[in-house]
Amino acid sequence: MKKILSVVGARPNFMKIAPIMRALDAYGSDVQQTLVHTGQHFDEKMSDVFFRELELPKPDEHLGVSGGSHAVQTARIMLEFEPVILKHQPDWLVVVGDVNSTVACSLVASKIGVPIAHVEAGLRSRDNTMPEEINRKVTDAISDLLLTPSPDGDANLIAEGVSADRIHCVGNVMIDSLIRALPKIEQSEILSTLSLTAGGFVLATLHRPSNVDDPQMLGQLIAALNEVATTLPVVFPVHPRTRSRLQSEGIELADGIRMVDPLGYFDFMGLMRSAKVVMTDSGGVQEETTYLGVTCLTVRPNTERPITISEGTNRLVQPGKDTLLAAWNEVQTNPPKRNCPKLWDGKAAERIAAKLVQSGS
């Protein structure tokens, strides 16, 4: 029997771990699973709704660590996680993505000799000012099984000297969740709730520190959204970090912007599939829009997900008011075309589960 301990911490983790746990469940008594929630995101809108909608099991362990600087949060997760992993003695630690929980739990496991499988390995923005880039590089450096979503991930790891036998291109596990949830997403009533029509609105999300922590930059991006909102309504589900910055800086939103709280997965994806254009700085949203064939303007100087540009509907926009408005004008007449990247087929988690069950201790 294999003992597999999976970690979730923040919103983007839930849609990645849910299909993996489901695929491992198919092995019945050959696999014993444990789920640890670090508590990085902990409330109804950033965590609980995803447990319900994605049918995640209740966490076996909750570390209750939220807030704090990066160092404080990472250190506290490490302190709380060590006795938990020692208690459960798993054969594999499964971590996903690039949040502080990912790197903190990986560091703990590596020092006590528990093999680590990193899902979404190999992504690189080559921008060390992004905290996520540091988390990705450190986690990959100490992981035993590097499970990549696309071939660019493999190439990055090979270029860094990782031996090929540790790297497996398994596809995109986030798209597994999306494909499974599509019937529920199609039933979402969010368009009528917000009095919107399909193709008649823009969906915007912003939460990267480089965009929202600098008041001048946040002001410019909101000024651009205010101008877009003179043509089409802009739905803006606001991340808690962004809301507090908007309030503290007194930045005003135009009437055409529908500022709402963070949405559950079905409603958020219900909006995304019907949006004319999505404007974002999110990682996952770049992939989801590519799968759905919806035009995405990513307000960042770089992306760790270049396949969403080369094959998908994503375009990078240098952060700023004029650049965002220019890109908005451009994509209305010339929307990017889409090819679905290989292995974004709803079966990534099955491939991951098979690797975990077959390999290692």
Residues labelled as active-site residues? 207
CB of 207 to ligand UDP, least distance (A): 6
Task: Work out which of 91, 120, 152, 288 binds ligand UDP, going by CB under 6 A.
Answer: 288
In the bound complex, which residue of the shown chain has the CB atom lying closest to ligand UDP?
A: 284
Task: Work out which of 4, 31, 204, 263 binds ligand UDP, going by CB under 6 A.
Answer: 263
CB of 285 to ligand UDP, least distance (A): 5
Q: Is residue 76 a contact residue for ligand UDP (CB under 6 A)?
A: no
CB of 209 to ligand UDP, least distance (A): 11
Distances (CA, A) of 277 to 9, 238, 274: 29, 17, 9
> What is the footprint of ligand UDP within residues 176-235 (CB under 6 A)?
205
CB of 161 to ligand UDP, least distance (A): 27
- Tell me how crowded residue 332 is: count the other CB atoms within 10 A of its CB: 13
> What is the footprint of ligand UDP within residues 124-183 (CB under 6 A)?
none
CB of 268 to ligand UDP, least distance (A): 3
Contact 218, 212 (CB under 8 A): yes
Please say which residue, 93 or 123, places its beta carbon nearer to ligand UDP. 123
Task: Work out which of 2, 7, 11, 31 binds ligand UDP, going by CB under 6 A.
Answer: 11
- Is the CA virtual torsion 144, 150, 152, 154 positive or negative? positive
> What is the footprint of ligand UDP within residues 41-70 (CB under 6 A)?
none
Binding mask 12-41 for ligand UDP (x = CB under 6 A): x--x--------------------------
**CA 335 from chain center: how many Å?**
24
Contact residues for 334 (Cβ-Cβ < 8 A; gap 6+): none
* Region binding ligand UDP by CB under 6 A among candidate stretches 10-18, 54-62, 102-110, 220-228: 10-18
Q: Is residue 285 a contact residue for ligand UDP (CB under 6 A)?
A: yes
Q: Is residue 344 a contact residue for ligand UDP (CB under 6 A)?
A: no
Closest CA to 354 of 7, 27, 55, 5: 27
Binding site for ligand UDP (CB under 6 A): 11-12, 15, 205, 237, 262-263, 265, 268, 282-285, 288
